[in-house]
Amino acid sequence: MRRTVDWADGAIVIVDQVALPGEYRTLVLRTVTELVDAIQRLAVRGAPALGAAGALGVALAAYQGGDVRAEADRIAHARPTAVNLAWGVQRALAQLPHGADAVLAEARAMLDEDEQRNRTASAHAAELVLDACQRRPLRLLSHCNTGHLATVAWGTALGVVWHLHARGLVESVLVDETRPLLQGSRLTAWELEQAGVPYRVQPDGAAAAAMARGLVDCVLVGADRIAANGDVANKIGTYGLAIAAAHHGVPFVVVAPTSTVDKTIATGSDIAIEERAAAELTEFGGTQIAPDGAAAFNPAFDVTPAKLITAVVTENGVYR
Ligand code: MRU
């Protein structure tokens, strides 16, 4: 699979996640405005992928001249919750005094690091899962998309599935569809299909029932921002999953690169949570499904308190 975010011929090239699973195609982004639009439409999404896209966006702005810092600010604020976006922008921007080539070199180095960090973090997490769960092969539960498509390559929580599947240790994955934008049924299911891993898509509301029936050995999720106290912001529905997992004694493991840790934020209650348009709920596939004028509560993320999390795993190791 090609890199989800890359640089070619003076432009950013992304795998278009809005087109999947129907079509696997790339989009070429030549301006900061095109990049910001792609981020806001979720054509590129997932915390580590956003970090890479943010860094390459600064390179784009640096080659185009003008007020690079203002452009960098526009990219960093395209979405508020995943700290990786601002992290990627800041790290690339630090090279601006050395010129546009230095900015691009830094961004490219970050792309290379991303895959390595994800492989390492998910390998640590795979060992933790094997320690925490007795049953073989394993039945895992995934929320949102945390695979190749959410990163430059490989993935975080879904990266654990790749490691375990390579060792013949995965029976199947229950894939939360992930309302309302269906990152689970559109993207995670597509990745598992490509990799030949058995899976079933389920409505988000079925997750607690699956645990009650004893169908889940471990829940694996990613993160968009991890506060200093270990609270985790991730896709809406993660908090409910953690409560259900704690109730049923199912290990709940968060896998993320250290670029997702934000030590400037003391607790999860200080994390800014993106709220998205009502139409994502009141319409389905372009058809209105709620009454005219229906109001909506549509937070894209929630915060899971550290006490509900078995462990947060990064490339540096396991934090219980
Ligand atoms: O709104 P999205 O699709 O960008 O949300 C993504 C998630 O919540 C992921 O779980 C998170 O970014 C971790 S991806 C490795």
- Percent of residues, the chain, with pLDDT higher than 90: 99
Return the pLDDT at 102: 98
For 66-96, b/e burial (b = at least 16 CB within 10 A) is eebeebbebbbebbbbbbbbbbbbebbbebb
Helical residues (DSSP H) of the chain, grouped into ranges: 32-40, 47-64, 68-76, 83-93, 100-132, 157-166, 189-195, 207-212, 238-248, 279-282
* pLDDT of residue 96 exceeding 90: yes
Q: Catalytic site residue 262?
A: no
Judged against a pLDDT cut of 90, whether residue 318 lies above it is answered with yes
Work out which ligand 1 atom sits closest to the CA atom of 157: 15
How far does the centroid of ligand 1 lie from the alpha carbon of residue 292, in Å? 30
pLDDT at residue 194 is higher than 90: yes
The average pLDDT across 270-294 equals 96
Residue with the smallest CA separation from ligand 1 atom 6 is 46
pLDDT of 1 above 90: no
Name which residue sits closest to atom 15 of ligand 1, judged by CA.
146
Ligand 1 centroid, distance to 77 Cα (angstroms): 16
pLDDT of residue 285: 87
**Stretch 120-133: mean pLDDT:** 98
User: 6, 176, 217, 224: which one is catalytic?
Assistant: 224
Average pLDDT, integer, range 10-19: 98
Q: How far is 15 from 239, CA to CA, in rounded Å?
A: 29
Which amino acid residue places its CA nearest to atom 8 of ligand 1? 235
pLDDT at 133: 98
Q: Looking at this protein, which amino acid is placed at residue 275? A: E
Residue 47 labeled ligand binder: yes
Task: Please give the pLDDT value at position 112.
Answer: 95
Q: Is the per-residue pLDDT at 36 higher than 90?
A: yes
Contact 294, 282 (CB under 8 A): yes
pLDDT at 305: 98
Query: Please, what are the domains in the chain?
Result: 5-113 (1.20.120.420), 119-319 (3.40.50.10470)
- Model pLDDT for residues 247-267, shown as the tens digit of each residue: 999 999 999 999 999 999 999
Average model confidence (pLDDT) across the chain: 97
Q: What is the mean pLDDT of residues 64-72?
A: 95
DSSP lists the bridge partners of residue 225 as: 233
